[in-house]
Structure formats: C-alpha cells, structure tokens
Structure 1
Amino acid sequence: MNQPGSCPVAHGAAAVSSVAPNGCPVSAGAAAFDPFGDGYQQDPPEYLRWAREQEPIFYSPQLGYWVVTRYEAIKAIFRDNLTFSPSIALEKITPTGPEANAVLASYGYAMNRTLVNEDEPAHMPRRRVLMEPFTPEALKHHEPVVRELTRMYIDRFIDSGRADLVDQMLWEVPLTVALHFLGVPEEDMDTLRRYSIAHTVNTWGRPRPEEQVAVAHAVGNFWQLAGQVLDKMRQNPDAPGWMQYGLRQQKLHPEVVTDSYLHSMMMAGIVAAHETTANATANAMKLLLQHPEAWQALCEDPGLIPNAVEECLRHNGSVAAWRRLVTQEAVVEGVRLPAGSKLLIVTSSANHDERHFGDADLFDIRRENASDHLTFGYGAHQCMGKNLARMEMQVFLEAFTRRLPHMRLAEQRFSYVPNTSFRGPEHVWVEWDPAQNPERRDPTLREAQTPLRIGEPSAHAISRPLVVQALQPVAEGIVQLTLTAADGRALPRWAPGAHIDVVCGDTGLSRQYSLCGDPADATQWQIAVLREPHSRGGSAWVHGQLKVGDKLQVRGPRSHFRMDESAAELVFVAGGIGITPISAMARRARQLGLRYTLHYCGRLRASMAYVNELQALHGEHLQLYVSEEGRRLDVAALLATPSAGVQVVACGPERLLQALEQACETWPADTLRVEHFSSTLGTLDPAKERAFEVELKDSGLVIPVRPDQTLLQALRAANVDVQSDCEEGLCGSCEVRVLAGQVDHRDVVLTRTEREANDRMMACCSRACGDRLTLAL
C-alpha cells in the first residue's frame, strides 16, 4: 500500500485532511469533484483539466471511486478486462432506498448481466454468437430506413425557420432506428422515451429520494414491456431484427443465449442503440454550429462528414465515462490500488489528452487520428453498435448540410440530465431563413444523397480544398501544379518523400503524387504529373481538364518513404517521373550539408523534368544518364562495393528498382529505400492461398481468414476497425502490430529489417506463413 508520503502526486498544502482507502491524501480538487454538478455536465474535459495535468488519478470521497483521466491509462484499463472488471458498469452509482427497491421487485425486475457488464468467460462466447448483425455488411440494409426517417422528419420543420433538433428529430429517429434494428414494433414511442430516460437516471444519475419511487415505477414498466415485446417476437423468430437473430442463435447455443439474457438485452439494447446515438448527434450539431468554419466546410464537401463524426465523438462524445472494478491489486498512474477499488474512467477527459491528441482542445474535422477516441471504449468490450451510430450520424449530418446549410444556433443555455456517464443537451434550438432553403431552387436536393462508408472512416475522408495557382510544363509530357490553400492559410509542413492524394474532379478517382517543391515553403505545394499513355484516368484528367483557378480536394501529406538523415552518405537514384520525391530529398541533403550524389536517368533529355534547376542546385553532386545521348546508369557498377553507413534512396520504374534491389542484396540490411509507382499485388487466387486465423489480443476475438479473403476484409467483416487507403500494399495505412506468428509479407512499404522483425504487417495484402497470427487489436 502507498504511504501518504509516497504518493506520485505532491499534494503539499493542497491536501485536505481525509485520505483515500490506500492511505493517499485526498487533494482539494479531488474532494471538490462532483460529476453531478454543472461544471462536469457542461464540459467534462475542461472540468478535469487540472487532473490530467496534475493528478491523473485521484480518489473522490463523494463517489467512493478512483477517477482516471488520461488516455494511455484508460486504454490500458480497457485492454485488461480481467484485472479491471466491467461488472459494475451498470451498477447504480447512487444506491436507491428500500421503498424504490420494493417497487422494482413488485414488477419482477431482474436485470441480468449484458455484453456491457459481463465478465469472462461468459462475455466473449455471447459476443461472438450475437455479433454478426453489427458488421458493416449486415448494417447496409438499415441505411434506407435511416435516410427515409431523416427526410420525413426534416420535412416536418424545414419551412418553419426554427426547431428544437432534439425534440423534433434527434430523439425520435434514433429510437425508431433502434426499434427497427432490434426488430421491435414502432409502438408506444412516447412511453419508451420516458422509460429510457428513467433507466438512465436510475443507473447513472442521482435521483432525489422523492424521485426514486417514480423512477423505479418507470423502470419496472420498461422491464415488463421489454418482456412482452420479446414474447411477441418468439412467435415469429425468422423475422428481421437483432432480437430475432438472438432467438435463432438460442436454438443453436441454448447454454450461451438464455431467456433471461435475451430479456435483459432487449431492455439494454433499446437504451444503448437509441440514447447514445441521439445524444451523440445532438452534441455534434451543437459543436459544428458553434464552429461555423467547420460547418461550412462540411456543407461544401460532404466527403469530410465521416471524419467530422469521429472528431465530434472525440471532442464532445455522448459517453463521458465508464466504470470498472479492480479484481486484484494493480498500479494505475503510479498509484497502487487494492482489490475491490472502484474506478470511474473518464473517456471524455482521455479524448482531450494532449499526450495523444495534439492541440487536443482544438476542434479539427480534418484531424488524422480523430478515430483514436475512446468514446466507443476499446478492446473486448468496445461498443458493438458503433457502426450503426456512425451510419446514423453520417446520414443526419449529410441531410442537414445539404438541406439546411444556412442553419445557425439560436440563443440558449444548454442543459443536461445529470449523470456520470451519458451526456447530451436536452434541447438544441436552431434557426434559419426558410426563403433561403436550397431545395426551393432545386427540389432534387430533398432526395439527393452522398454514398456512405459504414465503419471507421478511411484516410479518403480527410481532405482539404486547394486551388491551382499555376500550371506549367516542366518537360515533354510533364506538367507542374502549384497548389495553395483555398482559404489562404499556411499549409502543413511535409518531409521530403511525402505524397498527397488528389481527388480527380467528378471522376471519383484518387491518385497519389509526390511533393516536389521546397518542404520549408508553407505557402504552396508542388507536384508534377506525367501524361501516361495508358492512364487509369488521373493523368489524363490533369492534362486534359484541369485549369488555373480550379479547386481540388487533396488528402495528406503523408509519407512512408523517408531518407535517413543520419546516414554517412546518401545515394539518390531517380528514373523518369521518379525525380519528384528524390528532388525534395536531395534539396534537403544539400541544406543539411550531407554527403550525397544524385543519379537521374531518362530516355530523352527533353522528357526529364527539372534538369536545369537540378544542375544549378546540385552541380557536381548530380549525374545525368540520358539514353538518347548514349549514357546509361550501370547499377551494378554504382553499387559494386558494399559500404556500411550508405543509404540508397530510389524512385522510378519497376525495372530500375529491381536492378537496385538485386545490386544491394550483398549490402547491409536496409541499405536500399524505394518508393514504387505501382503494386504488383493482384487479385487473390483462392486456389493458391491457404486459410489461417488471427487472434486479436486486445479484443479477445479469433477470426478466420478464408483463402479468398484478405486479412483486412476479414477484420472488417468481424466489425473490427482498421484504417486503409490504397489497398494495394503501397501506402502503409493498414499497418497492424503482430505479437506472434510468422508473416508472409507482400507489401512494398516495409524494409527488409522491418520484415525480419516480424512485428508489423499490412492487412490489405500480407498473410500468415502458418495457421495463426496474434495481432495487437
């Protein structure tokens, strides 16, 4: 046990007289912590800023809980669901009195463990059996229902000029969707709404003694109604719906899916699928309308909506905290906790932890790691309904930005139902001028829709508008684009070797182009595009349609192609258009005063970009090899003598890269670093592949991967989020950590040393050498 003087926090004069159960002094901030007060209800992350900075775990005498506030500690707690049991997740945080308990008993209330608060070994078998309807593929058929409900509810108020989004839409639509998903008849909506609120107050709130009896009656009625609806479902178990799916699974696994379990899940499912989504969307609308520049960006580019949803969930999610029970002595943030300690893990605080989210209080809908948020939890107990919620929120935002882009927040004070865990404004009043409704000019906007991606957003969802400031030829068949920010602001800085993805107009194509200007210049980006005779659409669009003044949607920059600035010598090799990333690297090497040579190959001098500029900048460091002039690069001679400390960095046609790889086989590992123009990865041939399985260490799942499936496809089918972009083994965005098992690497991203380390793989293309891999997911 900690002695008072051995606490990791220097309490000093701030300490008060009381002590925590482990003997650690209770600070003034900890003693004053009140999750039911207005400070926590209005803004939990701000209310707990002092704790994240000074006392990341503290004991709250008011609650009798240890409060945990930082990202890594909370993620570690989620990861270890044996030491940190979820069994108290639904326990009443404010115990009810004997009269209210008697009322609940009179209704036969017998709420059982559910997926949220069930320990192993019972939890994971049930989760596996009941998971399939939550996968992105299974959720697709719910999308039309969400779209039609959204359209219908907006129709009701679009011409009024004022609405409470919560009362008039955001509460009822998620409830109806929840009922549709569960397979429940859409009856008694007002009753279910009242019961759902009562259940939240009963579990996470602090009802006054005089309120407890009324709350208990509502919860009892809710329990009985859930049982009655379940009995109706038993009469038609083949009907669509998650509960009917559970009834069918009960026949196959009667020991896993029991009657009492289904009854409890029926009640818990209505609350989980309904209330959290309603609150999350209300929070998101409030947040977006408080940031007009972000709202305008979504109105102009619906492709930003998936990542905006993640940033809203991070910045102001509907789940503020969860609870855990310490089952054996453990250390959290340097504090030793005895078995039996109760934890309030404040995920909303973790989502504002500067140690994980740079400039964490900034609301940035283009934030690249927004989906790292812990609002859905993590690991074995991560929210199964996360992708249903994401899909609903995307549909809502897409409809609002299309049909009411001129909407604004009305003057109001936001209020919340007091509780520790689930939060959302009770009302969100908005106003607009109906005369400006876009569909009055274009009626087709009412029915229009943007395609959805069900699941975690890919890197494709994060783009920024850039303007083509200049288009100029830099060689035969090569045009240079100079791009600036549409809003005139500075652009993110980039490292030599980085690339951007350019969305090619209305073609739907996205193509990657290396940045080739000065990395230190934040006013503009430059790329060079070769006219390809067999273009898949990208270069033909750039050369044939793009004009100065056009606005582009661009993603990035990002890079898996970097030079080692600590190398004793750098040998740069470029072939054709491969000069674009290499030119930026050579510029950087010159600026740093590094030892380097630049070898540039091409068929015709007239078709080689930047020759004069490179000669002026690099002088004797540059060697040109022009085939028409009778000079070709002899790769074998260039790399005849292996030398430690030399790094060879290359980009160009596959034939050149293969020659370099062959020449470097006898050199030290990872001498050669290359970037490929394309991938040789083809469509899987099931006849030549073997099945394997992956164990997900953090999630507790074992997932089979069929011969005709990639690992990425199998993970998505099991409702496991993994980022991806090119899906050709080129970009590296689908990298996952490998804990055990041998990997059959097929990407063109990892170096030889990285492959030999066997601690990571690209999920889109690489496979297992054996029968099983263990991954850190």
Structure 2
Amino acid sequence: MTTTNTTAASACPYSSGSASKDFDPFEMDYQLNPGEACAWARENEPIFYSEKLGYWVVTRFDDVQEVFRDQSTYSASVALEKLTPATPEAQEILEAKGYGMRRTLVNEDEPAHTARRRALAGPFDVAHLDGEEEMVRELVTGYIDRFAADGRADLVNSLLWEVPLTVAFHFLGVPEHDMDMLRRYSVAHTVNTWGRPSPEQQEEIAENVGNFWNLAGDILAELRETPDAPGWMPYSIRAQQEQPEVVTDSYLHSIMMAGIVAAHETTAHSASNAIKLLLENRSVWEELVRRPELIPNAIEECLRLSGGVAAWRRITTRPTVLGGQRLDEGERLLIVSAAANRDPRHFNDPDVIDLYRDNSTDHLTFGFGSHQCLGKNLARLELQVILQELTSRFPSMRLVDQEFEFVPNTSFRGPEHLWVEWDADTRAAGTAEDAPPEFPGIVFNGPGKDLRTRTMTVEKVRPLTPHVMGIRLVPDGGPLPGWQPGAHVEIDAGDVSRRYSLCGSSSDAWEIAVAREPDGRGGSRWIHENVVAGATVRVRGPRQNFAVDPDVDRRILIAGGIGITPILALADDAKARGIDYTVHYCGPERDRMAYLDRLRDDHGDHLVLHVSGEGTRLDLPGIVEEYRAGTQVCTCGPDRLTDAVLEAFSSWPEGTVTRESFQSTSAVDPSSNEPFEVTVNSTGQVLDVPAGQTLLETLETSGFDVDADCREGLCGTCVLGVVDAAPEDIDHRDDVLSARERQSGAVVMPCVSRSCAGKPLTLDL
C-alpha cells in the first residue's frame, strides 16, 4: 500500500513550536511555496491566530471551502482592504489623486454580488471564449519567434507577462498602453493591498496606485464614446444603460482598474509558476511533450500545487465555529487556498503531480462558490496555448540555475524572472518546412472523464476463491500516485463503470479483487469474462470516499464478503503505524472468504473470523461495549451488515463509525418525486425539474456541462453548490456527503438528490 508523504509536515519549522507566534507570509519559504510552508500548521494548528498579521489563518481544505461557501458568515468585504495601513503621507497622495476604489466582484457580498455578476458575466461564456483561441495563439507564437533562436530566455519578460496583458487589453476592449508602466502599476496595487511596504515605500506605491486609478478613469471615459465596441468593458457600459442601479459609475471605474490587474497578473503568475513546476518535474514535462492532450490535466495540477493566487481574506459577520475553532464577530481570516490544495484529507498523494488525478479541478485556486473567478476559463485558454507551444517547440527546455525573487505579499505570487535554456536542435525557428503540430481543442472547466482515464495493463490474474479473482494492474508508463487506505478506483467494464477498493501493498502496481455477482448489473461478469493477463483496462482514480480518520489510535474493522478489500488496506496501515486494531471478518464458508491466508499471515493476532457455516457469528453488542476515546469503527460489506453496524454503534460519537458502500443505500421510490424549480445563480436562468427526471439530467439537457461519472450518488464527481438553502430543503439520496455537508445545506449531488416537497433551489453554478 502507498500512502501520502507527510515529511514536510513532520517537523515544526517554527522556533517557538507554534505557527501562531512565528508565521510570516512575507518570508521567502512562503513566497516560494506557500502550500508547503503551511504544511506543519495544516496538520497541527489548522486554524491559528497570527500575531504578526492580526488574522486567523485557515489551512485545511474543508475549512477554506466552507469560508468561501458561507458568504453570510464570512464576508468578502475585506478582500481588498490594505493589509498594512497607509501612512499619513501615502494617504495624502491617494486623496490628492482622487483614489476611490470601492466595490468590485471580489469584495462585495450578497445580494449585490450576484446581481452584478449576472449583469456582467456574458463575455466569459465558454462559447464566446472558444473564439479567442486564434488571437491568443498568434500572440504566443509571435512572442516566441522573437527569442526562439537565442537558446536562452527569461520567460517572464519575454513572454509570460506581456502576452496575458495583451490578451487582457483585447478581452477588455481597451486600447494597448505602455506595458512597463502597467506592470509597475500592477505591482504597486498588489503590494499596496496585500503587502507590507515600509513607510518609505508607501509614498512611491501610493503615487503609482493613484496614477493607475486615474488612468482607469481616462480609459473608461474613452470607451464611453464607443459603447458598441467589442470587449468586456464596453459590454459593461451597455449593461449600465440597462441596469444603472446595479452597474453604477463608481463600480465601472473600480472594475476598470481591477479588471486590468485580474485579467492578466494572475494568469502571468500562474503560467510562470506552472512552467517552473513542470521543468522541476522533468518526467512530467517529457510526458506532455509526448502527449500534449494531457496539458489540460497538467494545468489543473499546476494551479493546485503552484497557482498564482495563494490566499484570500474574509471577515466574520457573527460569532461562529469553524473547524472546531470559536470565532467572534469581526474576526479577520486569511484563508490559504495554497495550503488547502495540498490537504491529504481531500487529495491523494497531494504533493505530487498526477496527470490523471480524478479530483484535480477541486482545487481552490480560483476560489469556490459564487465568488469563483469569473475569468477562470480565459486563464485556462491562455495557459493551454502557452504550454502547447512551449512543449512543442522546446522539448529540451530546462531551468537555468538561478535564485527566484517574488513580490512579498500574502496572496499573489509568481517569480519576477524565469530563466530557461534549450538545445539548438529543437523546433525553435518555426520555419515553413517545420510545420507546427495540430493541437487538441481547448478544454474549458477542467479535463473531463476521458482525459482523467489512464490505461493500465493486467499483469496478473489469480483466483482468490471460486467466485473472486485478484487483479494486479501496472501503468503504461510513468509512476502511479500514492493512495490512502480505503481508496478505490473506477474501472470501465464494458458499457458500465464499477468501483473497486485498492488492497495491494506495492507502489508500482495496483491490486483489486472482483467478486462475480450473478444477479449484479453486469460489471463483475464482464471483468471475469474479459480481464486476462496482458489485457488493457481503463481506470480512473484513486478516490477516497471512505471517511477514514487517519489520526485515530485504534481501529475496529468489520468486513463481510468482498468488503474485505478496503478493510485489508486499513489493517495493513494500522499495523504499519503500530496502532491497536482488530479485524472482524464475516463470511458463509472459509473457502468463500478472499485473502484469508494473507490475513492469517499478516494479521493473525488481530483477526477474528465469523463463519456462519461454522456457527460463529458477529457479536455487535459485545464490540459496542469496547468503546474508548480515539477509536474508529470502519465497515464494508453487504448492506445488511453495514446497516446493522451503523445501528448498533449509533450511541458512539459522530464520526467514529464509517462505512464504505459501492451500492446506493438511499433508494427512494421515484413515484414520491415532486417537480421543482432550480435557479442558476450565475445567470438567473430558471429550470423546471420534472418528477421523472433527475436534476443532473435537467441541467445537461439545458446545456450545462456538469462533470458526472457513476450517476448513482456514489462517487461524488457531480457535487454542486447550493445557495441560501436550509438543510431540510434538500432530499439527500447519495452515499458520499458527510453529515456536516448535509447539515450545511450548501451542496447537492444532482444525479440522485432533489429538493424536499418541491421547494425551489438555487444552484451555485
């Protein structure tokens, strides 16, 4: 079994032994890699008060996502607040220049935020963005041609700053301006808002920020003369004419300035970070050279591991509890998405680039919920074109030995220079006889199911019982990602996909066991009839839906039948960690119980068999009496067994009993369905969901692209956010969401779940 490497979090990097006293986001370790710099805090002080910042710092995925999601408790109003108060001299300069930036899309709350987002979102539609590829590619190839024959370049200065800025001008509908001046203005805006400039630096920064504000006003006045011109700002001017109470004059001025920064700076940083990361992971770069269709996958992993945005800020509007930490009203939060993106509770083997990661688009670099970045797909378009051209023309590209410099701030990061070199025999000149390759189409909204599917070879098949076969799978090139005990993979079995727990102990192969189910739905029969040594299979994952607590010091493991597969991995992990554990294994006859010999060999002193054919049955009441703090019960097997376990242990504290199920346990008679309405929050579109159709089907037939795999409420792929719903408004019918997620009323699995009693729902889509 392979588990996540937690070396980075194992030793406290703070001299006082506490992040609360020593955490400093302006030091180089945070600037270089904020996710790694926060690893110890995430595992030991996941929410801590930074005395140096005066902020609570939030580092775990679930907590960061909850803050993004719950806008009524965690206001975005401080997102653009100056982290370092202005000196009187700097404030005087800003006032003299009339600086008045107020609300933009990133720092306003409901209901104003959604109303403005709906009014302004049109040009960010995927159908519109798809037409921008030719313009972006011409820009990228034109800039590359300038340095292609040099053999060496600073990609930031030669490509990665000016291309996104030029794209931003085009997309905004703004005439091109002095690049160097706007770069200086953007850096000043970043440091002014999220940095810690000295009193001496503040005056120069204020001068640049004030000039930037006035330039934005001049550009806006110029654009008002041609409101029918193309671009987002003319579109916004026309929206003001239709909705003057929503799109006000001051708002247009603010988004004019913020738009120039947002449309290019984060993309420039993300591109620089991505290329640096990929060149540091040479085998991944070479795989992209060989298989450019995987570039969208690589981009999501780069955004997750080294995105251009590391953190955002919020303020509490009322007393609350977040991740067990009590917070008063008015508490300021720094939510570090870069740390959340490496949380092993959500991402298997989180510190490595996995080009087939099944949940890579779950990263929080673009935010989450209704505040998710409006321009995320424009950024994806630019990043894909840049990587396509660089990997094609410079396959030998490598980093030059250099020291990286960053603009010190809490939130926006990218190297100021990125020096690379390449061999002379590369396809660099772009000559007519050396025709460029044809690239796959641009992928928006992250890679779909096919791109996340890896092909694996069946190395070995062996019978475990007369009706269970063990299958060992090896990758077709490249290393396999690590996985946590309880993880499963999804196998394409003919026309269906089925989930199987990982249960091997090798890092270079995966092992699953498949029981042939005569009365099943055909997946196991297909595998038993078609999977032989040498065959290839299509695999997705690994995924972790089994809510296993990795920090407990005692496990009670209860398995029935083929449910032994995840339980075996949990037993192996418990033994390796040296914690107390017991395996209760139930079956009708010994010759029908898979892995029995291995269990005896590896876990004999911890194994208790319950063989009904021999008259030995599981005594659940007796096990219930064994409760002590630090214990978790994990069960997998037939529903009658796992249902009995959940009922027997219902008196134990929440979270101490968990089960894995590969068949939905929430079956509902469809005749009880009621029709209901859903509103799409980003557009205001209202859809009718008939009683005989799922919410997912309604969305798909209405043109919404929702990623979905199992369609049975088992895998978690299609989860969507819900806005302003009470927990009792949603009829949850899935087997994935936790009690905490259900109680939040903020998410729904549209493949199976519905509204309760026909109540309308608003989707964060």
Counterpart amino acid of residue 246 in structure 1 = S
Q: Equivalent residue of 1:66, what SS?
A: strand
**Structure 2 matches for 1:422-441, cutoff 5 A?**
422-437=412-427
**Structure 2 matches for 1:629-708, cutoff 5 A?**
645=640, 692-694=677-679, 703-705=685-687
Structure-2 change in CA distance of 1:79 and 1:721 (3 Å): farther
Counterpart amino acid of residue 102 in structure 2 = N
1:455 aligns with 2:445: yes
Shift of 1:569: 8.7
Q: Quick one: distance in 2 between partners of 1:398 and 1:191? A: 29
Which residue does 1:407 correspond to in 2?
A: 397
Q: Quick one: distance in 2 between partners of 1:559 and 1:62? A: 37
Which residue does 1:210 correspond to in 2?
A: 200
Structure-2 change in CA distance of 1:719 and 1:81 (3 Å): farther
Structure-2 change in CA distance of 1:470 and 1:347 (3 Å): closer
Shift of 1:167: 0.7
Counterpart amino acid of residue 341 in structure 1 = E
Structure-2 change in CA distance of 1:277 and 1:452 (3 Å): same
Structure-2 change in CA distance of 1:309 and 1:72 (3 Å): same
Q: Quick one: distance in 1 between partners of 2:544 and 2:60? A: 29
Shift of 1:411: 0.7
Between 1:107-116 and 1:269-278, the stretch displaced more is 107-116
Structure-2 change in CA distance of 1:493 and 1:410 (3 Å): closer
1:94-146 deviations in whole A, cap 9, x for unaligned?
12222222222222211121111113332221122222322323322222222
Counterpart amino acid of residue 117 in structure 1 = N
1:304 aligns with 2:288: no
Counterpart amino acid of residue 260 in structure 2 = I
Equivalent position to 2:326, from 315, 336, 361: 336
Structure-2 change in CA distance of 1:292 and 1:376 (3 Å): same
Shift of 1:513: 8.1
Q: Equivalent residue of 1:331, what SS?
A: strand
Shift of 1:75: 1.9
Structure-2 change in CA distance of 1:121 and 1:726 (3 Å): closer
Q: Quick one: distance in 2 between partners of 1:126 and 1:217? A: 30
1:723 aligns with 2:711: no
Q: Quick one: distance in 2 between partners of 1:271 and 1:428? A: 20
Which residue does 2:170 correspond to in 1?
A: 180
Structure-2 change in CA distance of 1:553 and 1:407 (3 Å): farther
> Are the counterparts in 2 of residues 515 and 525 from structure 1 also a CA contact under 8 Å?
no
Kindly tell me the number of residue pairs found equivalent between the two proteins: 640
Q: Equivalent residue of 1:214, what SS?
A: helix
Q: Equivalent residue of 1:368, what SS?
A: coil
1:81 aligns with 2:66: no
Which residue does 1:574 correspond to in 2?
A: none
1:668-697 deviations in whole A, cap 9, x for unaligned?
xxxx9989xxxxxxxxxxxxx98832476x
Which residue does 1:612 correspond to in 2?
A: none
Structure-2 change in CA distance of 1:440 and 1:273 (3 Å): closer
Equivalent position to 2:108, from 112, 115, 118: 118
Q: Quick one: distance in 2 between partners of 1:344 and 1:159? A: 44
> Are the counterparts in 2 of residues 136 and 717 from structure 1 also a CA contact under 8 Å?
no
Which residue does 1:3 correspond to in 2?
A: none
1:137 aligns with 2:127: yes
Q: Equivalent residue of 1:284, what SS?
A: helix
Q: Quick one: distance in 1 between partners of 2:662 and 2:348? A: 29
**Structure 2 matches for 1:183-202, cutoff 5 A?**
183-202=173-192
Which residue does 1:602 correspond to in 2?
A: none
**Structure 2 matches for 1:488-637, cutoff 5 A?**
523=509, 555-556=540-541, 595=587
Which residue does 2:596 correspond to in 1?
A: none
Which residue does 1:128 correspond to in 2?
A: 118
Which residue does 2:156 correspond to in 1?
A: 166
Shift of 1:40: 2.0
1:499-547 deviations in whole A, cap 9, x for unaligned?
756799xxxxx9858989997898478999xxxxxxxxxxxxxx9xx99
Structure-2 change in CA distance of 1:770 and 1:595 (3 Å): same
Shift of 1:236: 1.9
**RMSD of the TM alignment (CA)?**
5.3
Q: Quick one: distance in 1 between partners of 2:268 and 2:698? A: 30
> Are the counterparts in 1 of residues 730 and 753 from structure 2 also a CA contact under 8 Å?
no
1:189-234 deviations in whole A, cap 9, x for unaligned?
3322221122112211222222222222221221111111111221
Which residue does 2:761 correspond to in 1?
A: 773
Structure-2 change in CA distance of 1:728 and 1:147 (3 Å): farther
**Structure 2 matches for 1:155-304, cutoff 5 A?**
155-304=145-294
Structure-2 change in CA distance of 1:366 and 1:232 (3 Å): same
Q: Equivalent residue of 1:343, what SS?
A: strand
Q: Quick one: distance in 2 between partners of 1:731 and 1:77? A: 24
Q: Equivalent residue of 1:435, what SS?
A: coil
Between 1:98-107 and 1:219-228, the stretch displaced more is 98-107
1:337-391 deviations in whole A, cap 9, x for unaligned?
3333322222212222233333333333333222222212222322222222122
Which residue does 1:60 correspond to in 2?
A: 50
Shift of 1:285: 0.7
Shift of 1:91: 1.3
Which residue does 2:336 correspond to in 1?
A: 346
For structure 2, list consecutive stretches of 5 or more residues without a partner in the other structure.
1-13, 462-469, 515-528, 547-556, 570-582, 590-612, 614-637, 643-660, 665-673, 737-742
Counterpart amino acid of residue 43 in structure 2 = E
Between 1:223-232 and 1:510-519, the stretch displaced more is 510-519
Q: Quick one: distance in 2 between partners of 1:236 and 1:713? A: 42
Q: Quick one: distance in 1 between partners of 2:335 and 2:489? A: 39
Shift of 1:702: 5.5
> Are the counterparts in 2 of residues 496 and 519 from structure 1 also a CA contact under 8 Å?
no
Structure-2 change in CA distance of 1:762 and 1:330 (3 Å): closer
Q: Quick one: distance in 1 between partners of 2:89 and 2:703? A: 43
1:593-616 deviations in whole A, cap 9, x for unaligned?
85569xxxxxxxxxxxxxxxxxxx
Q: Equivalent residue of 1:352, what SS?
A: coil
Q: Quick one: distance in 2 between partners of 1:488 and 1:75? A: 32
Larger Rg: 1
1:430-458 deviations in whole A, cap 9, x for unaligned?
11113132887995652522112211332
Q: Equivalent residue of 2:425, what SS?
A: helix
Equivalent position to 1:153, from 134, 137, 143: 143
> Are the counterparts in 2 of residues 321 and 422 from structure 1 also a CA contact under 8 Å?
yes
Q: Equivalent residue of 1:178, what SS?
A: helix
> Are the counterparts in 1 of residues 358 and 542 from structure 2 also a CA contact under 8 Å?
no
Shift of 1:326: 2.4
Q: Quick one: distance in 1 between partners of 2:169 and 2:702? A: 23
1:475-499 deviations in whole A, cap 9, x for unaligned?
xxxxx99963234867989999987
Structure-2 change in CA distance of 1:333 and 1:468 (3 Å): closer
Q: Equivalent residue of 2:25, what SS?
A: coil
Q: Equivalent residue of 2:310, what SS?
A: coil
Q: Quick one: distance in 2 between partners of 1:70 and 1:559? A: 16
Counterpart amino acid of residue 384 in structure 1 = L
> Are the counterparts in 1 of residues 396 and 423 from structure 2 also a CA contact under 8 Å?
yes
Q: Equivalent residue of 1:196, what SS?
A: helix
TM-score scaled by structure 2?
0.69
Q: Quick one: distance in 1 between partners of 2:328 and 2:753? A: 44
Equivalent position to 1:734, from 698, 702, 718: 718
1:392-427 deviations in whole A, cap 9, x for unaligned?
222222222222221111111111011111111111
Q: Equivalent residue of 2:222, what SS?
A: helix
